[in-house]
Structure 1
Amino acid sequence: MAPLPPPVKGSTAGIDLPFGKARAMVFPRVVLAGHDVLTELGSTCRQFGFADRGAVVTGPTTAALAGDRSAQILSESGFEVETIVAREATEEEVARVEQEAARSKAAFLVAVGGGSKIDITKVVADHLHLPFVSVPTSAAHDGISSPRASLHGAHTTNSIPAAVPLGVIADTAVIVRAPYRLLASGCADVLSNLTAVLDWKLAVRLRNEEYSSTAATLSEYSAQQIMDQAPLIKPNLEESVWIAIRPLIVAGIAMSVAGSSRPCSGSEHLFSHALDRVAAHPSLHGEQCGVGAIMMMYLHGGDWHRLRSTLRTIGAPTTAHELGASNAEMIDALVAAHTVRPERYTILGDSGLTREAAERLATVTGVVG
């Protein structure tokens, strides 16, 4: 019998090593999802005990979709509301919105929009130490309830820690009006959790990385929900939004449990970020992660055929052509992916893929051809 390994710090096996783990886990207090739940915005903010002055952060398009209505609902609930129209999620735009929110003396924020508007609000809320409510108007990725935000630079996308919404109000009647491509992208993002968790488990075995089985289970559960119900996810069906929105929210909560993006971001996300850098016209984040997951699942020896079939069922891209990328851009991204976050160990290893290996991988999985 092999000898037992020595006790590790925090283990009850070693009486001279005190337990030392500690982590803050912040979750949304209220999640409302379903038809016409936007009408509950005012009462929810009252339930939270918010002061009477708030700001709605929305976009030029989403203002008409739900931003103006959100401001009206808050006003009818007795709040003084200022609307701040935001644009792309950049550091410069975050600084501008932050100044506007501070000038308005808002005691709370409401993010009404897609991923970029929610990400901007997350960062502003974090900087100003304000509570905020997330009101998604689309479901393009898993950032609706996550503790991370993506800010875009000239040729890069940076994922940074940010505030978690105190509440999420996901009105399926609003979200179904967004282009279906966004919903399919969100589903692809959640499906890519499958390879993210495999990468995480690999890092635990090879790098002794800290692991949360609860976070991993939540992440895998959200992906499995999309996989099992993929035939029901179709354009222009509010029920499809209902099916997809809950796994997206659960994926965000998985990241809060883990204290990092590990449960939902692995080699497939590294590929997506690398493609953002090299592609002339990058596609949607979730779409790129979905295609990346096909290839990374192949490397893991998993059922990449089923993953690809599920993506096709929901109408998400599975090839370079469908992403609008060239074969050369895909190969360049695969070769560079391991350099995006060198500290995050994945199936790509420390040295990444050779160009020959990348070409074979993309060809075998049908991503290029």
Structure 2
Amino acid sequence: MPLLARTVQAPLHIEVRRGAVANLGTILADGRISAGGDVAVVVGPGLGEQIADLIRPSLGSADVYTAAGGTLDAAIELADKLRSRHYDAVVGIGGGATVDTAKYAATRWAIPMVSVATSLANDGIASPVASLVNDGIKGSYGVHIPIAVVVDLDFVESGPDRVNRGGIGDVISNISALADWELARQVRNEPVDGLAASLARMGAEAVLNHPGDMNDDGFLTVLAEALISSGLAMAVCGSSRPSSGGCHEIMHATDALYPGTASHGELAGLGALFCTFLRDDRRRFAEMSACLRRHQLPRTPADVNLDEEQFVRVVEFAPRTRPDRYTILEHLEMTPTVIAEKLAEYDTAVAAG
């Protein structure tokens, strides 16, 4: 008998709205995650006190832990603290570093984890991956997908605009990642998961063509849902393939060679635009370039303070960051001289757009 369905891990509850943090107790109770508020709340050092004051009325039984740094050591230290008593769930409230620390710590003891995002920097808010720094190098660690994902638009609106815009770059990079996946199918017969690809593509297309900006609740909601959809795409296929191709190889290479250059989303967007140019997909290149320009995101190496020599080195090094992944960068096998020539053509094309 053929297999007629498959089981997919997904959050039980997803909510994107204003005032979510203040009403967290009600959200957890309505979602049947924690009726009595016996949860461990993990906050970052920046918003810790403000968040603690907001949740106390509805989560009086919660223990609040502060996690800083987004490191593997911090996540392991938090995991040790979680053994102090039984918790219905671990609730990570904050940006990517705080949420990823909470995801990893909760997974260590198989405790359900609730992701409460106060920024829209990348698709980690709903993914089965935690990005943590270990010995100065950022690595990706497999974790349980959050049991619930909540985005508080009040905090997003009041947060750093540049941080939130980075999520746009991360989402639209899915378009480049999916093109790389299709290339791998054509060249290496790599299987493509159609459901995962659809989830990753729908969110990217919605953000790419949305006329709103970061001051528009409608646009923020679409961006938040696109990031969540991207995380679900990774959970569906069991890897980051639908959301990570040559674009993220460039991002990881930049982080390795020139740490602190720009954010995850900014570099993913730049990498996606460059890889799309390498594919000579003029329609997609124009659409992505226009979107990045409209949202004031980097489009050239100079925009992130990298000179030609540095970016050539990044692109040359990029395939080594994901040796098992086939993308346009592996397909072209460019020498440093060819990369420099392509970069000059790319800069001209961006300027013309």
Normalised TM-score (structure 2): 0.91
Tell me, yes or no, if structure 1 residue 207 matches structure 2 residue 191: no
1:325, distance to aligned residue in structure 2 (A): 2.7
CA distance in 1, matches of 2:68, 2:14: 26
C-alpha change, 1:357 and 1:145, in structure 2 (3 Å) is: same
The 3 A distance-change label for structure 1 pair 84 and 330 is same
What is residue 48 of structure 1 aligned with on the other side? 32
1:282-333 per-residue CA deviation (whole Å, 9 max, x = no partner) reads 2100000000011100122223132112101011111222213333222111
- 1:67 shift after superposition: 4.6
**What is the distance in 1 between the residues matched to 2:252 and 2:57?**
38
Instruction: Indicate yes or no: 2:316 matched with 1:335.
Output: yes
Q: By how many angstroms is 1:187 displaced?
A: 0.6
Q: CA deviation at 1:94?
A: 0.9
The sequence identity of aligned pairs, in percent, is: 29
- Residue 9 (structure 2) pairs with residue 26 (structure 1): yes
Instruction: Tell me the equivalent position of 2:212.
Output: 232
Q: List gaps (5 residues or longer) in structure 1.
A: 1-17
- 1:97: Cα distance to partner? 0.8
Aligned to 1:253: 232
Distance in 1 (CA, whole Å) between partners of 2:294 and 2:206 is 14
Q: CA deviation at 1:168?
A: 1.2
Q: How many pairs align?
A: 346
| 1:209–1:68 CA distance, 2 compared to 1 (3 A) | farther
Q: Distance in 2 between matches of 1:73 and 1:151?
A: 31
CA distance in structure 2 between the partners assigned to 1:272 and 1:364 by the alignment: 21
Determine the structure 2 residue equivalent to 1:36: 19
Q: What SS does the corresponding residue of 2:91 show, helix, strand or coil? A: strand
- Report 1:48-67 matches (<5 A): 48-50=32-34, 52=36, 53-67=38-52
TM-score w.r.t. the length of structure 1 is: 0.87
Question: 1:73 corresponds to which letter in structure 2?
Answer: S
Task: State the match for 1:316 in structure 2.
Answer: 297
What secondary structure sits across from 1:152 in the alignment? strand
User: Conserved in 1, the CA contact under 8 Å of 2:23 and 2:55?
Assistant: no
Specify whether residues 123 and 280 from structure 1 end up closer, same or farther in structure 2 by C-alpha distance, changes over 3 A only: closer
For the residues of structure 1 that align with 2:50 and 2:303, how far apart are their CA atoms? Answer: 28
Q: How does 1:125-204 map to 2 (within 5 A)?
A: 125-204=106-185
Q: One-letter code of the match for 2:173?
A: S
Cα distance in 1, alignment partners of residues 225 and 26 from structure 2:
22
* More divergent stretch after superposition (246-255 vs 320-329): 320-329
Change (3 A) 1:183 1:49: closer
Whichever residue aligns with residue 274 of structure 2, its letter is M
Give matches, 1:289-368, under 5 Å: 289-302=268-281, 303-349=284-330, 352-366=333-347
The CA deviation at 1:241 is 2.0
Residue of 70, 82, 91 corresponding to 2:55 = 70
Q: Displacement, 1:251?
A: 1.1
Are the equivalent residues in 2 in contact too, given 1:142–1:248 (CA < 8 A)? Answer: yes
Question: Deviation of residue 280 (structure 1)?
Answer: 4.8
- The answer (yes or no) to whether the contact 1:199–1:347 under 8 Å persists in 2 is yes
The answer to whether structure 1 residue 285 and structure 2 residue 269 are counterparts is no
CA distance in 2, matches of 1:268, 1:286: 10
Within 2, Cα distance between the matches of 1:49 and 1:219?
27
CA contact (8 A) 1:54 1:109 kept: yes
**Is the CA contact (8 Å cut-off) linking 2:168 and 2:223 kept in structure 1?**
yes
Q: Rg bigger for which structure?
A: 1
Distance 1:97 1:68 in 2: 21
Aligned 8 A contact 1:51 1:108 in 2:
no
CA contact (8 A) 1:41 1:74 kept: yes
Report the more deviating stretch, 21-30 or 58-67. 21-30
1:351: Cα distance to partner? 7.9
In the TM superposition, what is the alpha-carbon distance from 1:339 to its structure 2 partner? 0.7
CA deviation after TM superposition for structure 1 residue 172, in Å: 0.9
Task: Give the match's secondary structure for 1:32.
Answer: strand
> Contact 1:57 / 1:121 at 8 angstroms: preserved in 2?
yes
CA-CA distance at 1:220 after TM superposition: 1.1
Cα deviations by residue, 1:247-266 (Å, 9 ceiling, x for unpaired): 11111111112221111011
Paired amino acid for 1:197: L
Separation in 2, partners of 1:197, 1:295: 15
- Tell me how far apart the structure 2 counterparts of residues 255 and 343 of structure 1 sit (CA, whole Å): 17
Equivalent residues of 2:169, 2:266 under 8 A apart: yes
Mark the runs of 5 or more structure 2 residues left unpaired by the alignment.
none
- Alignment-mate amino acid for residue 119 of structure 1: D
Kept in 2: contact 1:295–1:361 (CA 8 A): no
Quote how far apart the aligned CAs of 1:64 are: 3.8
- CA-atom RMSD in angstroms: 2.3
The one-letter code matched in structure 2 to 1:48 is: R
